[in-house]
Chain A
Amino acid sequence: MRLPTRESSPHTATRIGTWLGIAFGLCFVTGVLSHYVQHPPGWFTWPTRPVGLYRITQGVHVTSGVAAIPLLLAKLWTVYPKLFTRPLVKSVPHAVERGSILVLVGASFFELVTGLFNATQNYPWQFFFPPAHYAVAWIAVGALLVHIAVKLPLMRTPAEEVRRGPSHPGALSRRGFLLTTGGAAAVAVLATVGATVPWLRSVSVLGTRSAALPVNRTAGAAGVSAVDPSAWRLTVGDRRFSLAELAALPQTTAELPIACVEGWSASARWTGVPVRDLLALAGVEPGDVRVESLERDGIYRASTLPALHARDPLTLLALQVDGETLPLDHGYPCRLIAPSRPGVTQTKWVTRLKVVR
């Protein structure tokens, strides 16, 4: 076997590859879950407890993606010389292998870079992010599995055989390189994870969230102007409720997080009427509930609340947050807040609840 040089042994590449594989695996599983929560296939159910479940899975999604950025760069650094191997292709299988690596690297960068930009609400591309990010995730993980299958024999090479490379005093050793890579992943996570882990907010200088409870879409951006509380009505089935009627109903207060697909989350104390009480008062059979907003258009003007969530006693049409009347930017006169749901489905400025099945 060729004696490998520093930082380019299969051993180092395998180690970093394993870390990267774990990060990609976490990112993929939590990403597919998030996709299914928002576009549930018939067989899929998403639990309502713990109330912060989506906060956790989506926090893991964005955090593992951030950690994967330095890991991917380190991984490519260990194998960069192989890019210049000549001949360019030796055989058909070799060509297929190189091609699969190009797909793997392309898909990996695509996922990490678009994910990082999207998490900061920055969209320097012309395609629609969610379906593209979702489709390329399957390509990335598929290409990764092909890559693992091809490299499996090399990954099993005993570490001793590859540790005999020359050592360069003063520069980074193999161990130093691994430690630096792990440290870089840790620094990347620390710099950003405060967006979802409150006690790290001051450490995370590159965290996206700055306020205790951010507003993700202002009333202005949604085209919702001041709401007249005496004219506003909530329609549930055939019944209509005025704001005063809603406020006179028995109220529930619950500590529930807003957990955004973009990875930030924030907990608040919400007070309002449980959706299941409203459905019962209106005399409609519970089921999946379509929640519609005052927003005139936009793909997020309505959401569908699964039956499991609609039945949950903590799924509220909130009138207050942290003891104050809901501000217009947070959805005045009332907004949906349900346990364990993506923030984008916690519809604001609600006007209608409609059981759809």
Chain B
Amino acid sequence: MRWLIGALGVAMGSWGAFLLLPLVDVNLALWFIGGPVVHDLLLAPLLGGLGLLVARWVPGRWRAPVQVGGLLTGVLLALAVPLLWRPFAGSPNPGLNDRDYLVGLLVAVAVIWLGVLAVTLTRPRADR
């Protein structure tokens, strides 16, 4: 079973590589390797560092809700990047990508942190 899955994987990956080969240039290679590099050297240490700061400075009762709120905020920020940073966007299309994303993002983040506040204040203090 393992060998079957592995062989299928190698076959599919090779097919992809065959399709990709004629398209490969420096730009595409950078985009391919950029994900792991940016994640491993920048994003993960940054998140780890923020986690340490939270563990160090945020009181126990607030710690988990703040972590959850921070993670959800981070996910929304990541999704908002292509909507807010658009020097490489195509020509504008009426009705597409033209909402006020900054306001939407701020409202969503505010809702998340109100949730953090509500959960922390209403949670029983059993874990202290």
Contacts and interface: CB of A to CB of B under 8 A. Distances in A.
Contact of A205 (B20, B89, B104): B104
Nearest to A112: B35
A329 B94 contact: yes
Contact of B16 (A121, A138, A212): A138
B9 interface: yes
Nearest to A127: B28
Contact of A127 (B10, B23, B35, B39): B23
Contacts, number: 227
Q: How large is the interface on A (under 10, 10 to 19, 20 to 34, 35 or more residues)?
A: 35 or more
Interface in A158-216: 169-172, 176, 180, 183-184, 187-188, 191-192, 205-216
A264 B96 contact: yes
A178 to B, nearest CB: 12
Q: How large is the interface on B (under 10, 10 to 19, 20 to 34, 35 or more residues)?
A: 35 or more
Interface stretch (A148-156, A235-243, A277-285): A148-156
| Dominant secondary structure of chain A at its interface with chain B | helix
Contact of B97 (A120, A138, A143, A212): A120
Contacts of B27: 125-127
A136 B82 contact: no
A192 B33 contact: no
A187 B76 contact: yes
A138 B12 contact: yes
Interface of A: 66, 69-70, 73, 76-77, 80, 83, 102-103, 105-110, 113-114, 116-117, 119-128, 131-132, 134-150, 152, 169-172, 176, 180, 183-184, 187-188, 191-192, 205-218, 221, 264, 329
